[in-house]
Amino acid sequence: MKVVLVSRVDNKEALRYTASLARYLEDLGHSVSLEAGTALHLGRDGVAFKDITGDLVVVIGGDGSVLLTIHQMRKQVPVIGINRGEVGFLADLEPEETNAFFATLEDGFLVEQRMRISLYADGRHLGDALNEAVIVTERPAKMLRFGVYIDGIPSERFRADGLLISTPTGSTAYAMSAGGPIVDPKIEGFLLIPLAPYMLSSRPHLISTERTLEITLETEKPAHIAIDGQSMFELKREAKITVRRSGDPALFVDIGRSFFEKVNYKLRNL
């Protein structure tokens, strides 16, 4: 099996673990490559994110490392995360579980698709998000005015510090911290959460991906949109943001652990 390892490079312990895991997988007979940044820190040759191919990508780090990997891969490859971060909600394995998991790789593995959203600004494709896109003002302490249109019909207008456009996968990330609901990732929908809205009536919305969703900036204030915390774009004044279900979902190895088991363990008992 062809395996690519990606490590967070700002953590020496994670890098040491990655080097040890590479040797272990090679001893099991797998073909192991390292992502270029990881390889540089370990003194080996590596492969750029955009050129990653193979059967499995193993990410050693936290949720940010998993998001970076999925964001940068040109072609999605099944991913399994080993938690070397804080909560690690996207990392299904703890270090002590890895040997038992990799010992069964020859028997194959199940893959779970996770919906991503495609973001367009005035018709220009900005990128795809697994967790969320967030629109915020360029100037602190200034509010933005938003218009939300569903199937071309005005749904809501409100003023807020910003707006989160989240996937169900991202509902346990920034969206949850901003007061949004936890959403089963098997549900496919767009989750909209105003950030510090001026009116109490401005509440989160969960919108079917079968609907057309457009968001307008109805203000002259400059703003930015950040996608999964990995890329940021300046938005023109009175920009129109179109949100669509991406045709290129993220692929995760399914280790048979319930989403709600993870919610209970990762979010309630840490």
pLDDT band at 139 (very low <50, low <70, confident <90, very high): confident
Q: What percent of the chain has pLDDT over 70?
A: 99
The overall average pLDDT reported for the chain is 93
Which residues, other chains included, contact 187 with Cβ-Cβ below 8 Å and sequence gap of 6+?
168, 206
User: Is residue 92 a contact partner of residue 59, using CB atoms and an 8 Å limit?
Assistant: no
CB atoms within 10 A of CB 72: 15
CA–CA dist 137, 220 (Å, integer): 11
CATH T-level topology, domain 117-245: Tumour Suppressor Smad4 (2.60.200)
pLDDT surpassing 90 at residue 88: no
Compute the average pLDDT of residues 234-261.
Answer: 94
User: pLDDT tens-digit profile of 113-133?
Assistant: 999 999 999 999 999 999 999
Q: Is 63 a catalytic residue?
A: yes
User: Is residue 180 a contact partner of residue 192, using CB atoms and an 8 Å limit?
Assistant: no
Top pLDDT among 267 and 208 is at 208
Give the per-residue pLDDT at 237. Answer: 85
Q: Of 10, 27, 55, 63, which residue is the catalytic one?
A: 63
pLDDT surpassing 90 at residue 57: yes
Q: Look up residue 1 and give its amino acid.
A: M
Which 3 state secondary structure label does DSSP give 269? coil
Structural domain spans, the chain = 2-114+249-268, 117-245
Which 3 state secondary structure label does DSSP give 105? helix
CA–CA dist 218, 204 (Å, integer): 19
Q: Which phi and psi angles does 96 have, rounded to 5°?
A: -70, -10
CATH T-level topology, domain 2-114+249-268: Rossmann fold (3.40.50)
Q: Cα Rg for the chain, rounded, in angstroms?
A: 20
Asked if 2-114+249-268 and 117-245 have one fold, the answer is no
User: pLDDT tens-digit profile of 147-190?
Assistant: 999 999 999 999 999 999 999 999 999 999 999 999 999 999 99
Give the per-residue pLDDT at 220. Answer: 81
- Dihedral sign of CA atoms 79, 100, 33, 54 in order: negative
pLDDT surpassing 70 at residue 269: no
Q: Look up residue 123 and give its amino acid.
A: G
pLDDT surpassing 80 at residue 24: yes
pLDDT surpassing 80 at residue 258: yes
Q: Look up residue 115 and give its amino acid.
A: M
